[in-house]
Amino acid sequence: MLHGVAEGSTRKRSRVVMEGDDGLQDIQDDARSGNSDRPEEEMSVLAKPLWSPDSVPRMESELKGLIEYVRRKPQLSDANAAFMRDSLRTMLIKCTREAELAFETESSIVDSPSRSSSISGDDSKDENTAVEWYAVHDILEAVFRYLSAKDLSVARGVSKDWNKCGSKPSLWKQLCLRQPWRSLETDRALWSLIDPMLDVKDPDVWRKVYPTLARRKWWRCKLMKTNKFVCNLIVHQIDGESLGDNFPSTLTVERRFALMHLTLAMLPINSPLLYFEPETDGDKEGLEGFIQYLIRRDRYGNRRSSLCVLIWTFYLSLWSSSLLDCSRAGLALEQHRRYIFIPPCDYSRDRRYEGKSLLGGVQLSSAHGFQNNI
């Protein structure tokens, strides 16, 4: 009887309608027949349709559906591939789950499964579970990248798995750089300036530093020398009395003065301390050039010769051992404030900064002693 059914279905074509991303697709399969002298269990395997959940044609049809959808949407060629990655992950989870359910159904039908089949089935189930676990966490991480720090903190409290995924350094690093603190990637000395208690080798350092960064005020500002554009800056207030919400959109450096005067001015310990970083990579060269302008040029705009620096350093050493720095600071005036641009020097090192970037100090124009010492 089985042989007759097989022969009768030799030319029979089964039509399966599947729904993909681009609508309904018709897939036609030829049902292959077997020999009548084969065992019934083997015949059931041969009669297994090619479009079963755990088959290559099934996965192939899903992939073709996604590719066809992209081809019919020309506007997607200019977009990123994030939606395709998400679709592939979703498809993987869906197919894995369907294959797992199909395996469980087949296992329940078999009366006496062999030991080897049982072991193989368990291994396959464990492997599918592992694939599903990693796929779910990849999707979670992709979604978490769009969350704010507040929402991400709430998500971490949902479960242990969400807490593990939401604590990944890459997520918190992205949030820190958005503040924006781009220099944290390149300026190692900046970490101790922000918080000397931080351990940069701690895997959770980005998550731990975020609350401190979120509380700090920052502004965008254009740096100018007299009638000459230098660069665009991000200005962070590191310490000191709050400058409020108002910050000049443009700071013009009108003059320079020797750093010895900055020491004589004795800026109060609670005076605002600023950190300057370039707004974009294109502004980096301008900021570095401005720092060199403060360090390596004299008051007439000429480069100091090595002999001049040696003589100047010698006389300073005779005067005071604390005034060995020949660099100059830049000065910008704005209403009732004076903004001081401080290159790497003893003063910046006294403020716990050993890096090569630009710090800033802010002082009221009426501050006692400052005007007479410049």
**For domain 218-373, which architecture applies?**
Beta Barrel (2.40)
Contact between residue 174 and residue 207 where contact means Cβ atoms under 8 Å apart: no
Whole-angstrom Cα distance, residue 179 to residue 181? 6
Average pLDDT for residues 237-266, to the nearest whole number? 84
Tokens representing residue 217 in the block: 């005020």
Q: Which residue has the tokens 């002082």?
A: 363
Tell me the Ramachandran region of residue 121: left when phi exceeds 0, alpha when psi lies from -120 to 50, beta otherwise.
alpha
| pLDDT given for residue 369 in this prediction | 46
The DSSP call for residue 303 is B
Whole-angstrom Cα distance, residue 101 to residue 104? 5
Q: Minimal CA–CA distance to 188: which of 167, 205, 208?
A: 205
Q: Which residue has the tokens 């006496």?
A: 112
Sign of the C-alpha dihedral computed for residues 316, 321, 325 and 331 taken in this order: negative
Tokens representing residue 68 in the block: 């066809």
Average pLDDT for residues 85-100, to the nearest whole number? 79
Alpha carbons within 13 angstroms on the beta-carbon side of residue 142 total 15
Residue 340: count other Cβ atoms within 10 Å of its Cβ: 24
The H or E element spanning position 117 is helix 115-144
Q: Minimal CA–CA distance to 358: which of 337, 333, 329?
A: 329
pLDDT at residue 100 above 80?
Answer: no
User: Tell me: the pLDDT tens digits for 326-337?
Assistant: 578 999 998 788
Q: Minimal CA–CA distance to 226: which of 250, 200, 257?
A: 250
pLDDT at residue 96 above 60?
Answer: yes
Average pLDDT for residues 322-345, to the nearest whole number? 80
Q: Minimal CA–CA distance to 370: which of 320, 331, 343, 328?
A: 331
User: Tell me: the pLDDT tens digits for 276-295?
Assistant: 999 999 999 999 999 999 98
User: Tell me: the pLDDT tens digits for 187-208?
Assistant: 999 999 999 999 989 999 999 9
User: Tell me: the pLDDT tens digits for 52-78?
Assistant: 777 788 788 888 888 888 888 887 777
Beta strands of 186-301 (E only): which ranges? 218-225, 228-239, 250-253, 255-258, 273-278
| pLDDT given for residue 80 in this prediction | 77
Q: Is 10 exposed, middle or buried (0-12, 13-18, 19+ CB in 10 A)?
A: exposed
Confidence category of residue 7, pLDDT binned at 50, 70, 90: very low
User: Tell me: the pLDDT tens digits for 115-143?
Assistant: 444 444 555 555 555 545 556 777 888 88
User: Tell me: the pLDDT tens digits for 155-165?
Assistant: 999 888 889 99
Highest mean pLDDT among 174-188, 264-278, 287-301: 174-188
Sign of the C-alpha dihedral computed for residues 348, 352, 358 and 359 taken in this order: negative
| pLDDT given for residue 261 in this prediction | 74
Q: Minimal CA–CA distance to 371: which of 336, 327, 346?
A: 336
Residue 295 CB partners (closer than 8 Å, separation 6+): 327, 328, 343, 344
The gap between the terminal CA atoms of the chain, to the nearest Å, is 110
What are the domain boundaries of the chain?
2-144, 149-215, 218-373
Of 46-50, 271-275, 342-346, 348-352, the one with minimum mean pLDDT is 46-50
Residue 240 CB partners (closer than 8 Å, separation 6+): 270, 271, 272, 273, 362
